[in-house]
Chain A
Amino acid sequence: MSIDTLRLTAEEAMGLLERKEVSGRELHDAYRAAIDARDGELHAFLWVQDEPDRGGVPIAIKDVISTKGVPTTAGSKILEGYVPVFDATVTARCKAAGLSLLGKTNTDEFAMGSSTENSAYGPTHNPWDPTRVPGGSGGGSAAAVSAGLAPWALGSDTGGSIKQPAALCGIVGLRPTYGTVSRYGVVAFASSLDQVGPTTKTVRDCALLYGIISGRDENDSTTVDVPKVDLPTAEDLKGVRIGVPRELNEAEGIEPGVRNAVRAAIDRAAALGAEIGECSLPRSVDYGLACYYLIAPAEASSNLARYDGVRYGLRAEGADFREMVMNTRRAGFGDEPKRRIMLGTYALSSGYYDAYYAKAQKVRTVIKREHDAVFENFDLIVSPTSPTVAFELGAKTADPLAMYLNDLLTIPSCMAGLPGLSIPCGLSAGLPVGLQLVGPQFGENTLFKVGHALERALEFDFVPERLR
């Protein structure tokens, strides 16, 4: 049978396999053919598997996640040629579920970016309009799923790297509650924020993949047991209380087309029976970005100290040890990691620690408390995922601060460790708009339920118009 990889969901692919209507080999070959046809233009993949290694549904994995025997670069020259000798826990869990590794997807270097333009191996392009970015850092995973090059993919999210690319590519992305998915074997960026999660075409696919990868892992002591994942079926939202935080919905910089699409989705939720109410997260939005750009770089400056040319990765020449380390890091790191290492080192250095890092940690408490208070009255809150639709390549590369503003709306809930789901809710100027649903810690089932009902009601077509 012919397989339409642009339309086929992972759940449907599982059904085809169970009923023996296709083989794992045929599925793999169909996606390989799609990659051969379209990835020359999109550059979603950094590495592609020739032969399927399992009989199940194929999966693409972001290149910050370790895959035994398969190159893992984190989008950086400093890890060029690095081949992990062990699997990340999430990789091992996908394999144990029978999923077949299709390839490794492009990412901003060390997942630092909002456009995938910071990849040392060249940018990924948006399947809806290849002159535009797919978002980042997980632009490779999002573009691959959107363009039918993979049925689903794993991403990683520190301040928006799953949700924002999903929004810009018109697909579904979940950043799970911190601690529900193991970070073992994931290239570390900011350890108190990093979370792995699914990038999929539908909310049900998202719930299925979250079920596979989540749960306590003895190799990551920050993980916890997770409530049983419910595959969503409900089509109405009776009794669901949805909060609309003023600041997240009216922030400066939100494009009118984005605002309108989100407003229409909220009206649709009301029509499905949800109770809609206004709420407020004043300091989370005002101070979230500043808090994030102190804490994440501080943790990054510590995590990236390991790239010293001694045990693995790039080594440059040097007359003595110190010179070798300096030359290695100079040659291996691109601009964004250097910028964040410098910023983090500065914020942690003697004389500045109290003014910057210590204050940011307290602001984090303020953000967490504001969200806790909102969830006393609401089951979830909604807003745009990204203030804008996909922007043109090169538009923001010269101005780091302008690039950082892409994450204005995704960052606050990340600081509080909360789960966030982005689903496509419409188009603005022909480009997808993402709706962000954020719940309390361990509220994934609520997000799946509401996301699924809205997805059914909104009937957004996830296949990019130019590929239909």
Chain B
Amino acid sequence: MAGISREEVLHVARLARLELTDDEVVRFQEQLSAILESVSKVSELDLSDVPPTAHPLEIENAWGEDELRPSLSRDEAFANAPDRVDDHFRVPPA
């Protein structure tokens, strides 16, 4: 199971919207394979009766009052926008 192929590296990079250089593909394939071999340890344990933990505290729903509160102004929300047009974020065509 351990080890990751060049094709898988490219596939995962595409899923994550990362474009890799050829050098990065080679380096990441080698490094990720070593890391995956190490983390594959988790499959050694018999975990059939163990429930998963997604969150370390046993808290359930945290309710808040349904009321209006001050929020950011439009100008504040756009303050860090790379390209604003009126009240929109402008991006290149899809």
Q: Which of A287, A349, A404 contacts B15 (CB 8 A)?
A: A349
Please tell me if the beta carbons of B80 and A361 are within 8 angstroms of each other in the complex.
no
Alpha-carbon distance between A404 and B59 when the two chains are bound, in angstroms: 30
Assess A361 versus B54: contact at CB under 8 Å? Given A287-B45, A343-B32. yes
- Classify the interface of chain A: helix, strand, loop or mixed: helix
Q: Is the CB of A366 closer than 8 A to any CB of chain B?
A: yes
Please tell me if the beta carbons of A294 and B18 are within 8 angstroms of each other in the complex.
no
Please tell me if the beta carbons of A339 and B38 are within 8 angstroms of each other in the complex.
no
Q: Which of A85, A345, A364 contacts B79 (CB 8 A)?
A: A85
Apart from A83-B79, A329-B16, A343-B35, 19 more pairs, CB < 8 Å: A82-B80, A179-B57, A283-B45, A289-B39, A309-B82, A311-B80, A319-B92, A322-B17, A327-B19, A338-B24, A339-B35, A342-B9, A342-B13, A343-B36, A355-B1, A356-B39, A358-B52, A361-B54, A415-B56
Q: Which of B20, B41, B55, B94 contacts A287 (CB 8 A)?
A: B41
Q: Is the CB of A374 closer than 8 A to any CB of chain B?
A: no
Residues of A within 8 A of B36 (CB): 343, 346
Among A2-10, A154-162, A216-224, which stretch is in contact with chain B? A216-224
Alpha-carbon distance between A415 and B56 when the two chains are bound, in angstroms: 7
A-B residue pairs in contact (CB < 8 Å), sample of 27:
A179-B59, A287-B41, A289-B39, A290-B42, A293-B38, A301-B16, A305-B16, A310-B91, A320-B92, A320-B94, A321-B93, A322-B94, A323-B92, A324-B92, A326-B19, A330-B19, A338-B24, A342-B9, A342-B13, A342-B28, A359-B42, A359-B47, A360-B39, A364-B53, A365-B52, A401-B38, A416-B56
In the complex, residue of chain B having the shortest beta-carbon distance to the beta carbon of A192: B55
Please tell me if the beta carbons of A339 and B40 are within 8 angstroms of each other in the complex.
no
| Min distance, Cβ B56 to any Cβ of chain A, angstroms | 2
Q: Is the CB of A31 closer than 8 A to any CB of chain B?
A: no
B-side interface size class: 35 or more
Q: Which of A314, A349, A401 contacts B34 (CB 8 A)?
A: A401
Q: Which of A192, A346, A366, A404 contacts B47 (CB 8 A)?
A: A366
Please tell me if the beta carbons of B57 and A441 are within 8 angstroms of each other in the complex.
yes
Alpha-carbon distance between A327 and B77 when the two chains are bound, in angstroms: 24
Q: Is the CB of B7 closer than 8 A to any CB of chain A?
A: no
Please tell me if the beta carbons of A290 and B4 are within 8 angstroms of each other in the complex.
no
Q: Which of B1, B20, B36 has the most chain A CB atoms closer than 10 A to its own CB?
A: B36
| Min distance, Cβ A354 to any Cβ of chain B, angstroms | 10
Residues of A within 8 A of B45 (CB): 283, 287, 359, 362-363, 366
Residues of B within 8 A of A418 (CB): 56
Alpha-carbon distance between A342 and B17 when the two chains are bound, in angstroms: 10
| Min distance, Cβ B25 to any Cβ of chain A, angstroms | 10
Please tell me if the beta carbons of B4 and A346 are within 8 angstroms of each other in the complex.
yes
Residues of B within 8 A of A293 (CB): 35, 38-39
The interface of chain A, by Cβ under 8 A from chain B, is: 82-83, 85-86, 178-179, 192, 218, 221-222, 224, 283, 286-287, 289-291, 293-294, 301, 305, 308-315, 318-327, 329-330, 333, 338-339, 341-343, 345-347, 349, 355-356, 358-366, 368, 400-401, 404, 415-418, 441
Q: Which of B13, B36, B50, B53 has the most chain A CB atoms closer than 10 A to its own CB?
A: B53
Assess A359 versus B43: contact at CB under 8 Å? Given A327-B19, A339-B32. yes
Alpha-carbon distance between A349 and B36 when the two chains are bound, in angstroms: 14
Assess A321 versus B72: contact at CB under 8 Å? Given A311-B80, A311-B89, A345-B15. no
Query: 6 shortest A-B CB distances, which residue pairs?
Result: A417-B56, A312-B80, A361-B52, A315-B82, A221-B62, A362-B47
Q: Is the CB of B81 closer than 8 A to any CB of chain A?
A: yes
